[in-house]
Amino acid sequence: MRLLLTNDDGFDQPGLLELESSLHDMFEIWVVAPLNHCSGTSQALGLYSSMELRREGERKWSLEGMPTDCVKVALMEVMKGSPPDLVISGINPGANLANNILYSGTVAAATEAALWGVPAISVSVDVVGGVAPRFDTASWVLGRLLDLSIQSRIPHGTVLNLNVPGCAREELGEWEWTRMGRFSTDMPFTHMEPDRVFTYSRYRPLPVHDIEGTDVGAIEKGNISLTLLGSDRTSAHPPPLLEPLSGGD
C-alpha cells in the first residue's frame, strides 16, 4: 500500500519521523510536508508567494507552503500518476479536539485529501504537563488500525481524526467512537500592552458543553478517541422555510 505522510509541524519533526520509521518496512512511504512550522493554519493556502519544493531524501520532499499546499502538490505534481492509497497527517504533539479541530493544520491536511476522495487519517497525541509526547504510543495505535485495514472502512469524503492519550501503551484505556466536542469558553488573551498588544495564552484544558461521548471526554478518561469528520460543510439541519420571501414583497 502506498502512503502519503504529511503534518503541520515541519518535515523534520519527531512525530513525522516516528511515522516514517514505524511504517517504512510495511508500506511504500512518500512524504511531502511543510518546510516550516504551520500549526494553527487550518485550510490556509500559500496564495501570495512562490512555494519551493525541496528533495529531502528518497520519496521525501519539503514544501515552502502550508499543510494543505503540501497535499495539493503531492496529489497533483509529486505523485501524479501514482496516487496514494491513504494519507496520514501527524503525529501532532498535542491533541486536536473540539473547536481546535477547526484551526488545526494537521486535520486540514487530511481534510484536503478527503476532499479528493483519498482516505485520510489525522493523528495527534495528548501532551501531559512537561512530559515528552508519546509518539511511540500513537504510532502503535495507528499500526493497530492499519492492521484492520481501516483505510477501506473510512467513508468516502471523511477524515478519521485519531487522538491518543499521552501515556505508555500499557496504560491506554478503551477505543471509543466520539463526536467533536464544543468548548463552552474560549482561551483568554494575554495583554502584552494593555488594550493594544495581545498574544494567545498557553493552551490549557477548557470546559466542554455536554462532554459525554465527545473526543475531549474520551481523552480525559484515558481512552483512544476516533472521530469521523466530514469534508462537506453543508449543515445537517433542514433549511428555514422560505414562504415569507414568496410573492416578491
Confidence class for position 205, pLDDT limits 50, 70, 90 = confident
pLDDT digits over 14-28, tens only?
A: 999 999 999 999 999
What is residue 248's predicted lDDT score, i.e. its pLDDT? 52
Dist CA 47 CA 55 (whole Å): 22
What is residue 202's predicted lDDT score, i.e. its pLDDT? 73
pLDDT digits over 213-236, tens only?
A: 999 999 999 999 999 999 998 988
Q: Which string of b and e fits 28-65 if b means at least 16 CB within 10 Å?
A: ebbbbbbbeebbebbbeebeeeebebeeeeebbbbbeb
Check whether 249 has a pLDDT greater than 60. Answer: no
pLDDT digits over 63-78, tens only?
A: 999 999 999 999 999 9
Q: Domain coordinates of the chain in residue numbers?
A: 2-232
Mean pLDDT of 110-117: 98
DSSP state of 248: G
Please tell me the pTM assigned to this model.
0.93
- What does pLDDT average to over the chain? 93
Place of cell 501570495: 48
In CATH, which of 3.40.1210.10, 1.10.8.80, 3.40.1170.20, 3.30.565.10 is domain 2-232? Answer: 3.40.1210.10
pLDDT digits over 3-54, tens only?
A: 999 999 999 999 999 999 999 999 999 999 999 999 999 999 999 999 999 9
